[in-house]
Amino acid sequence: MTAQTAWPAGVIARYLTKAAEITGDHDATVDVSQDPDETTATCRGCQRDISRYRNYMTEAVKRDAQKHAETCRAIPRPASTAASTR
């Protein structure tokens, strides 16, 4: 098991994607975030906005996030690194 990292600000729920299950990359998640105006779900693997509701439709967003996470096999794009040397 890998060490847990802190969730980004505003994230209230996180679901591991199918890719995370297969690869063990726990950065492949669907994050549910909430702010004063809306609740959203975004996949960190495929970078897709999964769900967006106004008026705190939190349970609907969580349901959509979990459904997407169960099947998404996309892995997060690696962070850019310094130019490699040959």
pLDDT score for 37:
86
Residue 15 within any structural domain of the chain = yes
Give tens-digit pLDDT for 31-53. Answer: 999 988 899 999 999 999 998 88
How far apart are alpha carbons 17 and 68 in whole angstroms? 8
Mean pLDDT of the chain: 86
* pLDDT-derived band at 76, boundaries 50, 70, 90: confident
Mean pLDDT of 60-65: 94
Q: Which domain holds residue 38?
A: 11-69
Residue 4 within any structural domain of the chain = no
Residue 41 within any structural domain of the chain = yes
The count of structural domains within the chain is 1
Residue 46 within any structural domain of the chain = yes
Residue 83 within any structural domain of the chain = no
Residue 85 within any structural domain of the chain = no
Residue 24 within any structural domain of the chain = yes
Identify any residues that bridge with 33 across adjacent strands, giving them in sequence order: 11, 40
pLDDT score for 83:
54
* pLDDT-derived band at 1, boundaries 50, 70, 90: very low
